[in-house]
Amino acid sequence: MFMRQGGPRTRPSSVRLLALLGAAAIVFAACGSSNQTPSPSAPAASEVPSTAPSEAAAPSASAAATPAPGEPTRAETLIVKAFRKPDALVGNHYIASSDALISDGIHQLVNEPLFYFDYKTGQSVPWVAKGYEYNADNTEITIHLRDGVKWQDGQPFTADDVVFTMEQILKAKAPYRAANIQASVASAAAVDPQTVTIKLKAANPRFVQTDLSAYIYTANFTPVPKHVFEGQDFETFAFYDPAKGWPFGTGPYKLSSIGDDRSVLTRDDSWWGSATGFANAPAPRQVIFSLQGPEDTIISELASNQVDWAGHYGLTPAGAQTALNQNAAIQSTSAFDACPWSLTVNTTAKPWDDPDMRWALNETINKDAFSSLFNTPFAPTSARSTFPEFAGLTALLDQNAALFTKYPTTEFSLDKAAAVFKAKGYTQKDGKWTKDGKPLTVRLSIFDAATLGAVWTTAEQLLVQELNDAGFTVNSKPGDFGVILDARTKGTFDIQAWFECGSVADPWATLNRYAGKSGTDNPGGWDDATYNHLVAQIGKLAPGDPQVNPLFSQALEIWLRDLPVIPLAQRPEPILTNTKYWTNWPTDANQYEIPQSWVMSFHNVVLKLKPAGS
């Protein structure tokens, strides 16, 4: 109970005490900021001192710090913007979520796969492996490992590491991105220290390409060091301990530190690639993956040369254009994401089980308008198919141009659609199509803004408007991945926004998505026996086999005739690179490698960069 006693008394000010605590707090925060530092990599004795001039204070306070003697200068550092800060302190490729995997530079520059996939040639380029061969019926692969490959702790990389990793994956309960490995591989064995044989569960001439190569964004199979992982729980072992120098791989960079807003990787001057003469040592002494801020911050940093690479969720096309206008050293590169946007149609639900109705639906959607939402101020990139338009696939599709004339997927024509609806017995009442008293309804399942960005709110509005204008009664249900995947599994949609990940050079992977019940992503339930047979035949042929093309044309015609999925748009990503300090980036004229920094093959870009003025 409160009781007032006497008058006021003066006491030592609590404010002074709190002010002192506050000052201590800021010192505490700065000193105590977590800086998870693996064993510091001192400059190698053989390191050539940089002849680049020390970086003078840039016109920005934030670039004013001068590195200590021996530390990499700005001109020796590659700074890459990452959309996510490296929260996950995990070096185990197999348990890192995909967002965690791409944020800290480890899978790009510390780890190396057996092969890298070349989108242009459609071939797997040997890396820590030097070659492979299939047996006659494509059920067994012999992989030859490259001599002289070493882990960053100096231990040799051998067949035992490959076999061990494979065995761990096969035993895993939830192998994450290695799920395909588990589904495909029966066993693996070391023939000798440089040779591994992998027995497959079924013939798969694409296994090396899609699962052993860095394909699309990462490699489903990346060897781990047996001498570290042995005895650990493969599915919970983080492989992260700075005191022990973990994680490490065979790559040209070691992880130096993961801070609160960045990860720092330092060139390993004892990297096997340069030691054996296989490749030149990369030019950047240091690579920093730095958390990107708001778009204006990225633009400002590009303008003041504080950043060498930016893109991927950080920049809109308009923002990219602004940055280009502000700094002549900035260049943009066309980069398609491998997974075009589409609308999956539920072919098991009436009236969408009728291909004519699916085509009519396709004709009510303006693909240019949809694509413009994502591309403005650049030109729209409507999709004619669900294949990403990389060079090899574009050439293949162009060879079948006559099919796209016969089946014009990008056509927008409400009149043509109306003619189909009328032919099917629909009549229009108050602007809405009806038949037997029931409205022509379409259930639209689409991403919400929180899942893939605010642009999807506008995309939903656009699609709903177009469908309403076309006379449909629209029931739209935006949601996150949980909602979308739930609808996809249960078939509680008529059309669903999605992205078609599969092929990047050889067409089989995308074709196989729709191959009936065994299709890898066919929630629309489309099932055509002839198509399935053609896809199975292609699946037995090696990528690049000349017999693939005529089979592909037949399969494509069936697919276009039935249109089980409505192609919407290719997904160009604005990628900006800065030539102030580094040149020889992939460009439109010379796209020797895909330019995205978040994919495993960014390794090849870094290897080819040259100091500006060199």
In the complex, minimum distance from the CB of residue 554 to another protein, in angstroms, rounded to a whole number: 23
Among 133, 356, 486, 545, binds another protein (CB under 8 A): 486
C-alpha dihedral sign at 462, 465, 469, 471:
positive
* Helices and strands per DSSP (H, E), number in the chain: 21, 25
Alpha-carbon gap, residue 337 to 379, rounded angstroms: 16
Side-chain-side CA neighbours of 4 within 13 Å: the count stands at: 3
Q: Is 19 in the site for another protein (CB under 8 A)?
A: yes
Piece of the chain touching another protein by CB under 8 A; list 190-198, 413-421, 426-434, 495-503? 495-503
Q: Is 15 exposed, middle or buried (0-12, 13-18, 19+ CB in 10 A)?
A: exposed
- The packing angle between helices 355-363 and 414-423, to 10°, is 150
In the complex, minimum distance from the CB of residue 201 to another protein, in angstroms, rounded to a whole number: 12
DSSP letter, residue 516:
G
In the complex, minimum distance from the CB of residue 486 to another protein, in angstroms, rounded to a whole number: 7
In the range 510-529, which residues lie near another protein by CB under 8 A?
A: 513, 520-521
In the complex, minimum distance from the CB of residue 5 to another protein, in angstroms, rounded to a whole number: 5
Q: Is 53 in the site for another protein (CB under 8 A)?
A: no
Closest CA to 212 of 225, 235, 196, 231: 196
Q: Which of 76/363 has CB closer to another protein?
A: 76
Q: Where are the alpha helices (DSSP H) in 400-521?
A: 401-406, 414-423, 449-452, 455-469, 481-490, 508-512
Alpha-carbon gap, residue 229 to 91, rounded angstroms: 11
What is the per-residue DSSP string for 48-108? PPP-SPPPPPPSSGGG-PPPPTTS--GGGEEEEEESS--------TTTS-HHHHTTSSIII
Cα 440 to Cα 343, 364, 446, 471: the distances in Å are: 18, 13, 19, 8
Q: Is 90 in the site for another protein (CB under 8 A)?
A: yes
Among 15, 42, 45, 328, binds another protein (CB under 8 A): 15
- One character per residue 433-452, x = contact with another protein (rule: CB under 8 A): -----------------xxx
Q: How many residues does the chain have?
A: 614
Q: Is 26 in the site for another protein (CB under 8 A)?
A: yes
How many chain residues touch another protein (CB under 8 A)?
A: 111
Q: Is 202 in the site for another protein (CB under 8 A)?
A: no
Alpha-carbon gap, residue 298 to 576, rounded angstroms: 11
In the range 284-303, which residues lie near another protein by CB under 8 A?
A: 288, 290-294, 296-297, 300-301
Piece of the chain touching another protein by CB under 8 A; list 65-73, 248-256, 428-436, 465-473? 65-73
Q: Is 79 in the site for another protein (CB under 8 A)?
A: yes
Q: Is 381 in the site for another protein (CB under 8 A)?
A: no
Collect all residues with Cβ–Cβ distance below 8 Å to 86 and sequence separation of at least 6. Answer: 100, 103, 104, 258, 262, 263, 289
- One character per residue 226-255, x = contact with another protein (rule: CB under 8 A): ---------xxxx-----------------
Among 176, 278, 378, 592, binds another protein (CB under 8 A): 176
Q: Is 71 in the site for another protein (CB under 8 A)?
A: yes
In the complex, minimum distance from the CB of residue 571 to another protein, in angstroms, rounded to a whole number: 10
- One character per residue 540-579, x = contact with another protein (rule: CB under 8 A): ----------------------------------------
Among 200, 339, 474, 538, binds another protein (CB under 8 A): 339
Alpha-carbon gap, residue 346 to 275, rounded angstroms: 56
Q: Which of 255/418 has CB closer to another protein?
A: 255
Q: Is 56 in the site for another protein (CB under 8 A)?
A: no
